[in-house]
Structure 1
């Protein structure tokens, strides 16, 4: 019971982020289905030729679902960036390969920017910009997953790196497989199957991000604020203010 009480509240951030983002995307899907814009994901064939295939981008292309989609993607990009920054700070004094830690943050930051392009430039309004955002989100997001899986094994926080690392490698494998299937099936004009792979890919990706709660439960993160204009610490020191969680702290 005491061990449960000493778990950092930051552990809730990744799973809550993933759950809310997934809920928002499914809300977009059901809105589009309700307004007869897209076919249902479980359909084996298109029953109505006027309906579009249930790609996430197409579900979020038409109002009112487009408004929800933009909001969800913007918030998801912001939340994902915050998680990536906290992960970077957590590893800053633990990883021997700091260049890899920094590159991981940089890659996912660009992927988060891609999310905003996907959400704000609808596919039928500006296909080129939308597709660039899709590429940034999926491809760079997948690279981030593989890099973080490797770092997890190497850093081995609290001797949990092996279990968490294997879990992340498995999830990264599924993400990669479904991303390849998504683009391949789309190229073969098997759009229903491609859309199903896209939704599966995104759910696995959100599941991957939720696993950062495993390590976040051991740390708390602080921002230092002073009443004077003098800086007691360097910016680098302030940004690295991550404390290991002790049994007598919450």
Structure 2
């Protein structure tokens, strides 16, 4: 069941984006209503799914015996990527350009770093059952993303908006595809639960409680 979560993100994001705009910047389609309403809803739900996927991936890698700082960094980067998508959805470039660009940075640049971290984790943990093709596929898809990100900025600065839009769409769809690869990893998750652990009382509090009971008796 959990394997459907990445697939839902890929289908929801891809179909939603293509319904709103074709061959223009993804951010442009979020500037004017009614497209901006659909664009915002697509990204907000997508951000929610990214949060869940990032948390599941973090717990999965930790359960595989890799409670390392790199895994924790991956969780933080994934949450920042989700935050960036939500910022892009709610702060249109026609109204709050600086805030919108900050969200773009979190969604794209931090998202690229997130998948580089996941590619590195794929080389450190090799669980049984998970397809051996996932790690190389994740690395091959992540490798050109920095160049793609730089191309978007360069082409946009040169005034080549159509070419820059194509690069931005390529970057967006590649990120969706990378999230979709988690379906192979999550295919082996039977259940997921969040437990609340009560903090043990300090020795000083226990001693104080014992003294109170002694005086009362």
TM-score (norm 2): 0.86
Counterpart CA distance in 2 for 1:235 and 1:161 is: 38
- Which position in structure 1 is the counterpart of 2:197? 234
- Which position in structure 2 is the counterpart of 1:17? 9
Which of 152, 171, 176 pairs up with 1:182? 152
Write out aligned runs for 1:50-65 (5 A). Answer: 54-65=24-35
Q: Secondary structure at the match of 1:185?
A: helix
Greater fraction helix? 2
Counterpart CA distance in 1 for 2:16 and 2:105 is: 21
Which of 95, 100, 112 pairs up with 1:142? 112
Write out aligned runs for 1:133-172 (5 A). Answer: 133-158=103-128, 160=130, 162-172=132-142
Which of 57, 76, 96 pairs up with 2:46? 76
- Which position in structure 2 is the counterpart of 1:4? none
Write out aligned runs for 1:1-250 (5 A). Answer: 9-29=1-21, 41=23, 54-96=24-66, 98-158=68-128, 160=130, 162-223=132-193, 234=197
Q: Secondary structure at the match of 1:92?
A: helix
Counterpart CA distance in 2 for 1:189 and 1:100 is: 38
Name the Cα RMSD after superposition.
1.9
2:61, 2:67 within 8 Å by CA — same for their partners in 1? Answer: no
Structure 1 consecutive aligned stretches of length 4 or more whose deviation exceeds 6 Å: none
TM-score (norm 1): 0.75
- Which position in structure 1 is the counterpart of 2:213? none
By how many angstroms is 1:151 displaced? 0.4
- For structure 1, which runs of at least 5 residues remain unmatched after alignment? 1-8, 30-39, 42-53, 225-230, 237-250
Bigger radius of gyration among the two? 2
Cα separation, partners in 2 of 1:160 and 1:223, compared to 1, 3 Å: closer
